[in-house]
Amino acid sequence: MAENESDRNDLTPVMKQYYRLKARHRGEILFFRMGDFYETFGDDAKTAARVLGISLTTRDKRSDNPIPMAGVPYHSVEEYITKLLEAGYRVAIAEQMEPPSPRKKLVRREVVRVITPGTVIEEGSLRPEKNNYLISVFGEPENIALAVADVSTGELYVSLYKGSEAMEALRSELARLSPSEIILPDGFDENMVKDTDAAITFMGSEEYFIDRAYNNLIYSLGVTALDGFGIEREEEAIKALGVLFAYLKKTYKGNITHIKDLRVYRQTDYMMLDAETINHLELVEPARLSDGSATLFSVLDHTSTPMGKRLLRKWILSPLLDKDSIDERLSGVEELVNDRMKIDSLKRLLEGIYDLERINSRICLGTARPGDLVCLAQSILLLPDIASILSGCKSGILSKSSDDLMGLDEVAKLIESALVDDPPRVITDGGLIREGYSEELDRLKASISDSVEWIASLESKERKRTGIGNLKVGYNKVFGYYIEVSRGQIKNVPDEYIRKQTLKGAERYITPELKEREAEVLNAEERIKTLEYELFCRLRDEVASHSEGIIRASRAVARVDVIASLARTAYLHRYVRPIFTDDGGMEIRDGRHSVVERYYLREEFIPNDTVIDPEDAYLLIITGPNMSGKSTYLRQVALIVLMAQIGSFVPASKAVLPIVDRIFTRIGASDELSAGRSTFLVEMNESARILSHATKDSLILLDEIGRGTSTYDGISIAWAIGEYIHDHIGAKTLFATHYFELALLPKVLPRAKNLTVVVKEAGDKVVFLRKVVEGVTDRSYGIYVAQLAGLPKSVIERAREVLAILEGARDGFKSPLIKMLDSSVQLGLFVGDEEKLLEEVDEVKAGERKRRDKIALEFIETLKNLDLSKITPIDEMNILDNIKKDIGDA
């Protein structure tokens, strides 16, 4: 666009207005509101048409220089904005700042927002279960500040990372938050934030001047100093926060009033989870798209509100390190587990609560629609009933939430008195305000009613007076009201009729009195729309003044929703409350993998024990066949530990656990070829990070270390890693391997122990019993697994021939370690009595069948005891719905 585009002589006033606004927003796609559409012009139109798949047309087609044009309907604009953001564009919104009127040739328009990935707040552009974080990073590799805001929910906090662990902490935090946009200073090293898909925005160095950042921050927070937050002398934190607010003011064209509660997030408050651990354990996203929603989040998610879903996700990604805080959550879960009727009552009420956090943000930012306020009022009316249920609770997390839900009744009454039950989406079209709320508005509506009635009766009166039987009184937006007479009756038209329009077969007229009545109606309608818009804006501002109470209530709702969700999960899937110990030991009895047993099994899950005594053995070497369940066993231990530290019950019959500071995983094969890193290099990078950052209080999961290189190289590296963990770290470690040489480690390391997964051979068939016991195995059954995978029969037969040849010359192919192992350890598939192990597996399966039979009998008994004469149809539906869900999970 040329610099002087708006000065072109051939432009209409509205296009000059457009180009003046576009000159200030060259870096964004400008959505220019024109009636029911947002229009784009020029190069913006070409881009919008290509990215959005909409028609590209032109404005002023008869001009020698027609302007490209493409538009989208206002009522579906959110989906189009989302597509542009995903394609890497930013969008500036130019709104009509006053209602259109026939008397106004040009409606005033202004850019009210610039929408970027980290500042979008529209409901249709956001995932309800996920926060939309905007992050500002500032500092050096060993002194980093991270300021975080979610404009859509009003959250704000800052983290400080110092010392040699700073970069590792930043990396983990970016993986946990998964931000949409990151603000960096010009010239900042992008490699510090390379492990993220977030959009990057650079800010000029002048924004980072300490005085400027400090003043910007205290003004935005509404304070006179930062001592209360503990960052008065933390320059990096002040600059990161100050620039974040500067960016928000720039994109929202004014001050942000609803983000006031700054929280300092300390590294020692939560367990750090790196990207590899989050992905390997499939905490919130499946590792493969084909797995759909098979994640820990989906297992635990019985929440009823968007706030609850977001909080559950945050808890999963931020396990606690403080035992008292964990126990506070667990006590709340336990209380509800023991009172299922209370869970059901809470769920029914919570299902009627809308997204209070995001509605509140839209209200405070002036973008809320009338429907948002109606949803807020409906939600507030349910809060006292929720508070009443919680007031009788003994656990602190539930009883304290009761108080936070109160005090908003007047807000609901105000909204209900002002807005109609089903208001229109567009606030400038009128029809929003309830009768009786404004005397002036009611008077204007009454005046219109009188004039409309007079106009409605005019047709019959004029037909009778003039004798013209086909005379009609009509209205259109261009010509207003008119009297229409066919050509054959023109001779009977009275002299006082004034010709207004000539049609092919008729003439249209107006009378002085009709013109006067028309002016009364149009003036009143224009004033009504303007007044309703003003009344709504004042109402929205009044509700915004209660923002603090709305946020407090929304966060209480979220806490209760998550606790109730964890309780429902616990009783549906037979989870138990974990117990924490200070001696560093771990005892899990009948542990299960929460995701596998829920989504992947066609038969009963075979539970396994895990016992780690630091005084006995904390390095567990696990051998066993392919597909026997080694990886599942590793992951289930990690998930049980993590679930316990978020405050959830766990899938086991008993769980005595230590507080783990970090969980490290090296599981699965992956590469990063685009970055020049092979599978083996990625494996070694992850292993190096584990050895550098793990402590004796960590939990380490290692699966098939060294398989990406030659056999002897791989064995050597795996052996050395095992020794290093044992001798220098002392972390609780589960080390699964196909290198049977590693089974010798317990012979030379006093705190190591061998485990194996039991199999049963019957002829050429192999049965994986999924049972983990002490001992070792010297076979992987890889050919059997290859057969299951569908390799050609000839390939399988040839593989068996080659294996027989190799086993026939076994001594010549053995490594020295295997030879040592043969002479010092009795290899076998079972440790103990084989029949006893098989009986244990059968007992597990029989126990599961008995459990299901018991559940069925309980449901039958429940139905027998129902007194249908004393419950409502809604109660019946809720009871049947709960039974249906329980049967589905049984």
Model pLDDT, residue 832: 43
Q: Tell how strand 134-140 and strand 109-115 pair up.
A: unpaired
Q: Is the pLDDT of residue 644 over 60?
A: yes
For tokens 């079972």, name the residue. 830
For range 476-486, the mean pLDDT: 88
Q: Which residue has the higher pLDDT, 888 or 401?
A: 401
Two tokens at 438? 């404004």
Model pLDDT, residue 830: 40
Q: Is 153 in contact with 169 (CB distance < 8 Å)?
A: no
Q: C-alpha angle with apex 582: 576 to 588, nearest 5 degrees?
A: 35
Quick one: which H or E segment has residue 509?
Answer: strand 506-510
Q: Is 551 in contact with 360 (CB distance < 8 Å)?
A: yes
| Dihedral sign (CA 187, 188, 189, 194) | negative
CATH number of 308-334+356-435+540-572: 1.10.1420.10
Q: What percent of the chain has pLDDT over 90?
A: 57
Quick one: which H or E segment has residue 43?
Answer: helix 42-52
> 157-171, 432-446, 490-504, 622-636: which range is least confident on average?
622-636
Instruction: Classify the phi-psi angles of 655: left when phi > 0, otherwise alpha if psi is within -120 to 50, otherwise beta.
Output: beta
Q: Which residue has the higher pLDDT, 292 or 705?
A: 705
Give the residue from 747, 863, 341, 413 showing the smallest Cα distance to 571: 341
For range 331-355, the mean pLDDT: 95
Q: Is the pLDDT of residue 22 over 80?
A: yes
CATH number of 579-780+826-832: 3.40.50.300
Q: Please write the tens of the pLDDT for every residue from 51-66.
A: 999 999 988 766 667 8
- Residue 598: which residues within 8 A CB-CB, separation 6 or more? 294, 299, 573
Q: Please write the tens of the pLDDT for every residue from 251-279.
A: 998 878 899 889 998 878 899 999 889 99
Model pLDDT, residue 448: 84
Q: Is 653 in contact with 608 (CB distance < 8 Å)?
A: no
> 262-266, 647-651, 873-877: which range is least confident on average?
873-877
Q: What percent of the chain has pLDDT over 70?
A: 83
Give the residue from 137, 197, 129, 123 showing the smallest Cα distance to 167: 137
Two tokens at 51? 């990215």
Q: 5-115 with 439-536: one CATH topology?
A: no
User: How far apart, in whole angstroms, are the C-alpha atoms of residue 572 and residue 888?
Assistant: 10
The CA–CA distances, whole Å, from 876 to 61, 438, 735, 866, 868 equal 64, 43, 52, 9, 8
Two tokens at 167? 């970069």
Q: Encode 756-784: b = buried (16+ Cβ within 10 Å), e = exposed.
A: bbbbbeeeeebebbbbbbebbbebbbebb
Please report how the helices 873-889 and 547-572 are oriented relative to each other, as an axis angle in degrees rounded to 10: 50
Q: Is 753 in contact with 621 (CB distance < 8 Å)?
A: yes
- Phi then psi for residue 826, to 5 deg, are -85, 105
Two tokens at 670? 């992956």
Burial of 395 (0-12, 13-18, 19+ CB in 10 A): buried
Give the number of other CB atoms < 10 A from CB of residue 326: 20
Q: Is 375 in contact with 359 (CB distance < 8 Å)?
A: yes
For range 556-567, the mean pLDDT: 97
Give the number of other CB atoms < 10 A from CB of residue 328: 17
For residue 71, the cross-strand partners are: 39
Give the residue from 335, 304, 294, 330 showing the smallest Cα distance to 315: 330
User: How far apart, in whole angstroms, are the C-alpha atoms of residue 875 and residue 254?
Assistant: 49
pLDDT band for 827, please (50, 70, 90 cuts).
Answer: very low
Q: Which CATH number among 3.30.420.110, 3.30.2010.10, 3.30.40.10, 1.20.120.450 corresponds to the domain 123-269? A: 3.30.420.110
Q: Is the pLDDT of residue 494 over 50?
A: yes
Model pLDDT, residue 825: 43
Q: What is the DSSP string of 784-838?
A: HHHHHTT--HHHHHHHHHHHHHHHHTHHHH--HHHHHHHHHS---S-SS-HHHHH
Which CATH superfamily hosts domain 5-115? DNA repair protein MutS, domain I (3.40.1170.10)
Residue type, 542: E
Q: Is the pLDDT of residue 547 over 90?
A: yes
Q: Is the pLDDT of residue 861 over 80?
A: no
User: How far apart, in whole angstroms, are the C-alpha atoms of residue 503 and residue 574?
Assistant: 80
Q: Please write the tens of the pLDDT for every residue from 197-244.
A: 899 999 999 999 999 999 999 999 989 999 888 899 999 999 999 999
Q: Is 293 in contact with 636 (CB distance < 8 Å)?
A: no
CATH number of 439-536: 1.10.1420.10
For range 487-508, the mean pLDDT: 92
Domain range annotation of the chain: 5-115, 123-269, 308-334+356-435+540-572, 439-536, 579-780+826-832, 841-889
Q: Encode 90-121: b = buried (16+ Cβ within 10 Å), e = exposed.
A: bbbbbbeeebeeeeeeebebebbbbbbbbbbb
Q: Please write the tens of the pLDDT for every residue from 668-726.
A: 655 444 444 567 788 888 888 899 999 999 999 998 887 777 777 888 888 999 999 99
- Residue 86: which residues within 8 A CB-CB, separation 6 or more? none
Q: What is the DSSP string of 567-600?
A: HHHHHHTT-B--EE-SSS-EEEEEE--HHHHHHT
Q: Is 859 in contact with 883 (CB distance < 8 Å)?
A: yes
Q: Is 740 in contact with 728 (CB distance < 8 Å)?
A: no
DSSP-based three-state secondary structure for 196? coil
- Residue 392: which residues within 8 A CB-CB, separation 6 or more? none
Q: Is the pLDDT of residue 748 over 70?
A: yes
User: How far apart, in whole angstroms, are the C-alpha atoms of residue 146 and residue 701?
Assistant: 29
User: How far apart, in whole angstroms, are the C-alpha atoms of residue 631 and residue 735?
Assistant: 10
User: How far apart, in whole angstroms, are the C-alpha atoms of residue 248 and residue 134?
Assistant: 10
User: How far apart, in whole angstroms, are the C-alpha atoms of residue 490 and residue 513?
Assistant: 20
Q: Is 769 in contact with 838 (CB distance < 8 Å)?
A: yes
Two tokens at 603? 């038969």
Q: Tell how strand 608-612 and strand 498-502 pair up.
A: unpaired
The CA–CA distances, whole Å, from 194 to 144, 169, 215, 459 equal 15, 14, 31, 74
For residue 580, the cross-strand partners are: 657
Quick one: which H or E segment has residue 176?
Answer: helix 166-177
Give the number of other CB atoms < 10 A from CB of residue 209: 13
User: How far apart, in whole angstroms, are the C-alpha atoms of residue 536 and residue 554?
Assistant: 23
- Residue 67: which residues within 8 A CB-CB, separation 6 or more? 15, 41, 42, 45, 58, 59, 60
Q: Is the pLDDT of residue 6 over 90?
A: no
Model pLDDT, residue 447: 83
Mean pLDDT computed over every residue of the chain = 86
User: How far apart, in whole angstroms, are the C-alpha atoms of residue 839 and residue 834?
Assistant: 9
> 85-94, 284-293, 635-644: which range is least confident on average?
284-293
Give the number of other CB atoms < 10 A from CB of residue 383: 24
DSSP-based three-state secondary structure for 473? strand
Q: Is 431 in contact with 424 (CB distance < 8 Å)?
A: yes
User: How far apart, in whole angstroms, are the C-alpha atoms of residue 759 and residue 771?
Assistant: 8
Two tokens at 468? 């013209």
